[in-house]
Amino acid sequence: MKTPVEDTLAKTLLAFENQTGIEIRRLGPPPQDQLFLRADERVLIEFPEGMREYDIEVKQTLTGATIGQLAERLGQAKEHWILVTRYAYPQLANAMRELGVQFLDATGNAFLRGQQTYIHIQAHRRARDTWKAREELFGVAGIRVAFALMCKPELLNANYREITQAAQVALGTVAGVMKQLAQKGYLIEHPNNRRTLTRRKDLLNLWTQAYTNRLRPKKLIGRFAAKQPDFWQKADLTRHRAQWGGEVGGHFLTRFLKPEVITMYVHRPTNELMLDLKLRKDEYGMVEIRDRFWRFDTQEPNPNVAPPLLVYADLMATNEARNIQTAQMVYDQYLRRYFEQD
């Protein structure tokens, strides 16, 4: 029986050959490499101009953090490696092209360069199969519940009414999401009535995809223009019960990114905030105001900034290499310790 990695690799190589007519010859796992403990496979690709070897790294679930880590670790050696995954979402595929990370996925999407051949295929959607079913662990309300649990792990052992209040969902929704998390292997119920999340990195990846595709688009209140473009540098949002997300959140958490799009999460109504910050409605403005869909305090690491998990997801959703690089920094500094604990 094939392992999941072997199954993904076989499907992906076959999809690439069917799409391009270019033959790929598998050479088996290569010796240990200084960049990776061991590549999953070495292949020989027959381009029109000649043969070329690549090492393969298989990642079942692909995230911006994965891409950022791979690009950083490979450096100048990127041209000799290919990332294989089950499906590369368009925003992640674009980010990989910008970062120079070559990839193939099992639906036939590809970004690959030979000496004289350039291959870019990005038109195939993911089939509605068991992989899609895994992503459908979360409806919109479930995304909110999982967000609260991952940001405030102590809520796992709170009563359902407290979780309901934090996530702003119906009481029955909480019970349903907890049951699904347990059934899918992301929640462990201990004999002493304690609960813990497990497989957290996988859960984070699924949540980020679900949030980007389902909840985030629904939370945009409107776009605005600012009288002073750098107003965000000194604005105090706490008096309005608002917080920075996206690029500004990334800036304050890492001091690395120079924001271009200004994202705020606010509680409605927004009139007082708009007057205070001198904002006016503008459908092409660089200030976006989004609904603050959670109802729990997040004083750390910065009371003016949304939870790092949300900042990370916002940055990943932009489909820009500079933001994905910042998202990786946010992950390393604020999320890694918890999500890679198990």
Q: What is the pLDDT of residues 98-119, one digit of tens each?
A: 888 999 998 889 998 877 777 8
- Asked whether residue 45 falls in the same domain as residue 108, the answer is yes
Instruction: Report how far residue 274's alpha carbon sits from residue 281's, in angstroms, rounded to the nearest whole number.
Output: 9
- Asked whether residue 299 falls in the same domain as residue 197, the answer is no
Q: How many CB atoms lie within 10 A of CB 126?
A: 16
- Asked whether residue 224 falls in the same domain as residue 329, the answer is yes
- Asked whether residue 16 falls in the same domain as residue 104, the answer is yes
- Global pTM reads 0.70
Q: Is-contact 144 165, C-beta < 8 A?
A: no
Percent of the chain scored above 90 by pLDDT? Answer: 39
- Asked whether residue 114 falls in the same domain as residue 144, the answer is no
Phi and psi at 263, nearest 5°, equal: -115, 130
Which domain-ending residue is among 214, 236, 251?
214
- Asked whether residue 243 falls in the same domain as residue 151, the answer is no
Listed residue (218, 204, 219) closest to 313, CA to CA: 204
Domain count, the chain: 3
Task: Give the residue numbers spanning the domain of 304.
Answer: 218-339
- The CATH code of the domain that includes 140 is 1.10.10.10
- Asked whether residue 329 falls in the same domain as residue 301, the answer is yes
CA distances from 152 to 196, 238, 291 (A): 12, 20, 19
Which domain-ending residue is among 186, 214, 242?
214
Instruction: Report how far residue 112's alpha carbon sits from residue 103's, in angstroms, rounded to the nearest whole number.
Output: 7
- Asked whether residue 153 falls in the same domain as residue 246, the answer is no
- Asked whether residue 192 falls in the same domain as residue 233, the answer is no
- Give pLDDT, residue 130: 41
Which domain-ending residue is among 192, 214, 236?
214
The list of the chain residues with pLDDT below 50 reads 35, 128-135
- Asked whether residue 47 falls in the same domain as residue 140, the answer is no
- Asked whether residue 231 falls in the same domain as residue 335, the answer is yes
- Asked whether residue 70 falls in the same domain as residue 83, the answer is yes
